[in-house]
Structure 1
Amino acid sequence: MSIQIRYATEADGPALGQINIDSFKHQRYWSNVFPGLDDAAIHPVKHFRSLEKMADPTVHVLSAVDTAAGDRVVGYARWTIPGESNPNVVALSEEAKKTTADMSSVMPAGMSMPIYRDFFTKMKKYRGEYVKEDDMILDFLATSPSAQGKGVGTRLLRWGMDQADARNARIYLEATADGYPLYRKHGWTVLREMEMDFEPFGGEGTQTYYLMMRERQRA
């Protein structure tokens, strides 16, 4: 495997959506937001999100591609760098613009909107408490299960750490239990735990997220 990190393109969109699904569908949050729904029903939502973020000049969407396998996309990350627009923001095709015109049109029947909204409400609340104006944010990072354990996540993480170190900036993120060890290894510490309780919304169980910060590397 030979990994290259580059800015995502519109053509990457379907693969990014599938990586999102494959990386997180075993989580309790997933089974509560998308109860009983298969990949085909969920993929349009995740494809929508990937295109939406690529076209957002405030977000840096990175793809990890395996150049030894025909540039197969094996991971991706989304970063926010304060005050810096994405120089490679994607100008979506007319077809993609139609795809991203209305998220409600791609949400599958049976998706739990109360749980979905509660997650983002909590996330926004805590970002408001912990994130300062000059902090970077790692909004998302995922690696295809077939490529996990091969350094893909570390390469995606290194891109952002290099950006932060050049600016002497902190990096905030929300980690699942799966991602937690990687972030701890690279210097993130836990600010607090965010617990999602799904039962008040008709779901089952709970899931814990770790709100983490990597501090500035220079005093």
Structure 2
Amino acid sequence: MPLVILPAQICDIEAVYDVYFKAFEHQPVLQILFPEGVDRKVHTEVTTHLWSNNTHGYPIKCVDTDTGKIVGMACWDMFWKPGAEDVWPNPGGAVWLDGKHRETADAILVPIWNMHEKLFGKQKHIYLPTIAVHPDYQRRGAGRLLMRWGIAVAESLGLPIYLESTGPGNSLYQAMGFDKLTHAQIIHKAEVTGSSEDTEIPLMVRMPSKAKEMTFEEWAEKGYPDMYE
């Protein structure tokens, strides 16, 4: 039986984030965001509150229908509703940390959040902050299925999708029609991440087919015209 995409429910949170933490266990950013390890009980409680109150968030799961196991996850944020209040809310820093740990995490997160706000904060758009596939299921189509779910919504609404890429994800995003922004850039300094060199975070946008080959830069220059028909 095939892999299938379904809405992720509150009862799935622990299994969904089992996938997330396994997929990113060797990424330096995980140690920066959770320098003393992840208290999974607290994480589940906080995520339960978030999923229960976030009016923009649509978490989904990829399920192996042979085993029933959750093997992939994504959290899509949809900012499509009319009204000035329907904008991306800047979280304002790593509020769960203190002291030097927070300073280090903020050096990673704040530039990302500020760039998102600068590019899209007051415009209708779709944002993909999180996508992960269990290592045992990578390169088996789960990532594409998770992406296609959000792309289908974006196409229906005539909205661009924005995300911050990682090195391993670049080829998938490019294959799914995303372009790297050339006028905006985020660099994570080596002294912050603990890497041997500075790391660029590619900023990716997929314009809807209704944009008729208009780039994000052109769309912004024209004042973010509505592409919904």
TM-score by length of 2: 0.74
Residues 5 and 20 of structure 1, relative CA distance in 2, 3 Å threshold: same
CA deviation vs aligned residue, 1:109-165 (integer Å, no higher than 9, x gap): 999322222322111111122215111111211111111111001000000000011
Q: Structure 1 CA distance, aligned partners of 2:126 and 2:33?
A: 28
Number of corresponding residues: 193
1:172 is displaced (CA, Å) by 0.4
Partner of 1:76: 73
Consecutive aligned runs of 4 or more in structure 1 exceeding 3 Å deviation: 31-35, 41-50
Q: Structure 1 CA distance, aligned partners of 2:146 and 2:46?
A: 19
CA deviation vs aligned residue, 1:45-81 (integer Å, no higher than 9, x gap): 6535643442212101111111110x21111111111
1:170 has 2:160 as partner? yes
The residue identity in structure 2 corresponding to 1:175 is S
Report matched runs for 1:20-169 at 5 Å.
Answer: 20-35=20-35, 41-44=38-41, 46-48=43-45, 50-55=47-52, 56-69=54-67, 71-84=68-81, 104=96, 112-131=101-120, 133-169=123-159
Q: Structure 2 CA distance, aligned partners of 1:117 and 1:150?
A: 35
CA deviation vs aligned residue, 1:13-41 (integer Å, no higher than 9, x gap): 11122212111121232344445x56xx4
Percent of aligned positions that are identical: 23
Residues 42 and 175 of structure 1, relative CA distance in 2, 3 Å threshold: farther
TM-score by length of 1: 0.77
1:44 is displaced (CA, Å) by 4.3
- How big is the alpha-carbon RMSD for the aligned residues of Structure 1 and Structure 2? 2.7
Residues 179 and 51 of structure 1, relative CA distance in 2, 3 Å threshold: farther
